[in-house]
A and B are shown apart, each in its own frame.
Chain A
Amino acid sequence: MGRFVARRLLQMIPVFFGTTLLIFVMVHALPGDPVAAMWGDKAPDPAQVAALRHQLGFDKPMLQQYFDYMGGLLTGDFGQTMAKRPVLDVITEALPVTVRLALFAFAIEIVLGIGIGLFAGLRRGKAFDKGALVITLLLISIPVPVLGFIFQTVFADNLKWVTPTVQDSNDITQLVLPAFVLGSLSLAYVARLTRTSIAENIKADYVRTAVAKGLPRRKVIGTHLLRNSLIPVITFLGTDLGALMGGAIVTEGIFNVKGVGNALYHAINLKEGSTVSGFVAFLVIVYLAAGLIVDLLYAVLDPRIRYA
């Protein structure tokens, strides 16, 4: 187990550096000079531009800029935005909001997704199952911006259950609607995965054995059927947590949530290389850690899987 974790951690290192380098190069290769942009419409003074570029390290080769940046990152220095604000400041302001939003969406996804999938799988072919299939198909097909506006119109404008946009991003009760929109697509996938897995495993020998030895239905489903059926679901959930955090751009925009997606969108538009790289570095870590946790959960769920 320890050796497995160590090996996986070592494998993560090249992926981490590769992904951050890729984003770093892409952001810095963007056309338009952020230094010249500081002068607005006026013609910049070449000497001042050169001095600023030197000060920001933009005159160095790309690879050296990257290593300087990573060196700073590893010692906790995330650099500054073009407006001289520490990037770490931007991150610590936006991150808790998005983490809350993503975890909220994640919880909705797990509870509703697995719940719907479980009931649909157990009642295969019945009305609930068919209804669940149609609803999940619709959730998968309706693109996020459209779904956001539908929810906003129905639940906020017509039913007046919530405010159309989030007034205070730190208030978790206001995040209900955006969390639903953010988690809806994955919710549909989770429900469908669980349903298939349950429907497949319900015919398995171990389920029949459990029923035959007289276990109560609740126990057959809870400890035997569900636990064995969750492996494909867990795999999906593992990649999804990172995607939820990085993919909240549209949802956060529609509902005015001041989170990572919002900050990233503005940073990309303003060509704030160090802000984008900082966020991406963080998202990649979340993504890799989730992958590792998923691998370890396999062993918990399926006793046949052992990591030497």
Chain B
Amino acid sequence: MPDLTEKKTAEEIPAQAAVAADAKPEKARSLGSDAWHDLRRKPIFVISALLILLLIVIAIAPGLFTSVDPRAGDLRLHYLSKPNYSHFFQADWFGYDLQGRSIYARVVYGARASVVVGICVTLGVTILGGIAGMVAGYFGGWVDTIISRVTDIFFGIPLLLGSLVILNAFTSRTIWSVVFALVALGWTQMTRVMRGSVITVKQADFVTAAKALGAGTGRIMFKHILPNAIAPVIVVATIALGGYIATEATLSFLGIGLQDPTISWGIDINSAQKVIRTAPFALFFPAGMLSLTVLAFIMLGDAVRDALDPKLR
């Protein structure tokens, strides 16, 4: 395997995102095209990107991959009828679950919940946390103090524990309630990264020049600082995406995330755990797909980080 995954410096671990404040100011456009140039040549990036593309297609149009209704159960089939591994893309390819529903169809339809939660939560925390971080870093002073303290407060709540409490408040939970809970607790990480990044970029000469030329606050923030400060945020966001998918599955596994009409790998893992010794395949396929999805996003994040982090060149 090429050395894509190996360079990991302090800044990239989400938990200590504050350290990212040390990131050097960088030229965005050249860096962006440079990174793209770099990425296309890395096999890990290509593999993970193709995998993610496939997942997104599955999430958008699961009907392309199976014609079986994932919610239609036939109790005669039950999980005791073993999977038929030579029946590619058929209903009984991965066997049937407790209620006689096709595991293959459920694995296919389960992709949507994971992909939607992962992408929406990442977008949400990046926008919310990014704005808060930019405001805190750019204005400094008491604005920074208030935002930083609020960030500290939210940061003190463990993600899983906090989302358990929030999700308990919903009587019927959909994908959007899970997204809401994870965004409400996850934005602090992005705020810290963005704030640190903005503080370093703010001191660059081109910002002073823009000010001297009479550019307004909005223009300086969005045209000059944002493009130059966004790289570390993109890196943390890509890596975090896989983590959010895993968290959704964990919450659904605990019975506090998504609920039954929604198909989620986490729910299927939960119901399969009771038959783990008699029908391990019922657990294996949703769990395998979940792990593969998380793996794809984390590999992508690793590749993007290596391409975007100029310190590692």
Q: Verify B149–A232 contact, CB threshold 8 A.
A: no
Whether the pair B169, A30 counts as a contact (CB closer than 8 A) is yes
CB of B273 closer than 8 Å to a CB of A:
yes
Are the C-beta atoms of A143 and B290 separated by less than 8 Å?
Answer: yes
- B256 — which chain A residues lie within 8 A by C-beta? 268
What's the dominant secondary structure at chain B's contact region? helix
Which chain A residues lie closer than 8 Å to B3 at the CB level? 125
CB closest chain-B residue, reference A276: B165
Q: Which of A16-24, A44-52, A214-222 contacts B (4 or more CB under 8 A)?
A: A16-24
Cβ 8 A contact of B153, one of A19, A193, A253: A19
**Who on chain A is nearest to B243 by CB?**
A140
Question: Whose C-beta in chain B lies nearest to the C-beta of A124?
Answer: B6
Q: Choose among A19, A27, A31, A199 the residue that contacts B156 (Cβ–Cβ < 8 A).
A: A19
Neighbouring A residues of B93 by C-beta, 8 Å:
none
Contact between chains at B1 and A134 (CB < 8 Å): yes
Proximity bits, A286-301, B CB within 8 Å = 1, else 0: 0110000000000000
On whether A240 and B165 interact (CB within 8 A), knowing A141-B298, A235-B10, the answer reads no
Contacting residue for A146 out of B6, B8, B277, B287, CB 8 A:
B287
For B6, the chain A residues whose CB sits under 8 A away are 124, 129, 133, 195-196, 199
Q: Report the Cα distance A288→B1, complex, angstroms.
A: 40
Contact A232 B242 (CB under 8 A): no
Min distance, Cβ A275 to any Cβ of chain B, angstroms = 12
Stretch at the interface among B13-21, B98-106, B116-124: B13-21
Interface string of B296-309 (1 = CB under 8 A from A): 00110010000000
Is B157 a contact of A19 with CB atoms below 8 Å? yes
Of residues 252 through 283 on chain B, the ones whose CB sits less than 8 Å from some CB of chain A are 253-254, 256, 266, 269-270, 273, 276-277, 280, 283
B-side interface residues, number (CB < 8 Å): 54
Partner of A157, one of B165, B277, B287: B277
Give the interface segment out of A58-66, A73-81, A172-180, A242-250.
A242-250
* Assembled-state Cα–Cα distance A75/B253 (Å): 38
* A16 contact set on B, CB distance < 8 A: 156
- Please judge, given known A-B contacts A15-B156, A264-B161, A280-B161, whether A141 and B295 are in contact too, CB under 8 Å: yes
Q: Does residue B198 face the partner (Cβ distance < 8 Å to A)?
A: no
List A contacts of B302 (CB < 8 A): 137
A236 to B15, CA, bound (A): 6
Q: Which residues of B contact A189 (CB under 8 A)?
A: 13
Which one of A29, A129, A130, A283 lies within 8 Å of B158 (CB-CB)? Answer: A283
Contact of A269 among B10, B168, B294 (CB under 8 A): B168
Q: Which of B8, B154, B162, B269 contacts A196 (CB 8 A)?
A: B8
Q: Which residues of B contact A141 (CB under 8 A)?
A: 242, 291-292, 294-295, 298
B270 / chain A contacts, CB cutoff of 8 Å: 145
Cα-based distance from A280 to B169 in the complex (angstroms): 18
Can you list the 7 inter-chain pairs with the closest CB atoms, starting with the nearest? Answer: A232-B10, A18-B153, A246-B158, A141-B295, A19-B156, A143-B246, A196-B8
